Amino acid sequence: MSFMPVNPRPMLQELVNQDIVVRLKWGETEYKGRLVSIDGYFNIQLTNAQEYIDQKFTSDLGQILIRCNNVLWIKRADKADVNMEG
């Protein structure tokens, strides 16, 4: 079985102006917000960002920048993610 690498840039460009979830590499920290932009290094700018730790809402952060090397994964937010308030 061979592995075929896939360029994530097209998928991420499609997510601009949509709600996303970003999971950090350490702990159970996630940020949910609207993707404003992503640069050539995959640094992520979010607006209306909210921080969740262990799936519990901790704070509204507003506009944030997440450095690329901190990101474990990124996904489009579904209705369950957007409505998750604890």
Give the pLDDT confidence of 1-60 residue by residue, as tens digits.
688 888 888 989 999 999 999 999 988 999 999 999 999 999 999 999 999 999 999 999
Q: Rounded to an integer, what distance in angstroms lies between the CA atom of residue 29 and that of residue 55?
A: 8
pTM of the model: 0.84
Q: What pLDDT, on the 0 to 100 scale, is given for residue 26?
A: 87
Q: pLDDT of 51-86, one tens digit each?
A: 999 999 999 999 999 999 999 999 999 877 755 554
Report how far residue 35's alpha carbon sits from residue 5's, in angstroms, rounded to the nearest whole number.
24
| pLDDT for the residue 41 | 92
Please say whether the beta carbons of 43 and 66 come within 8 A. Answer: yes
**At 85, is the secondary structure helix, strand, or coil?**
coil
The C-alpha atoms of residue 33 and residue 60 are separated, in whole angstroms, by 10
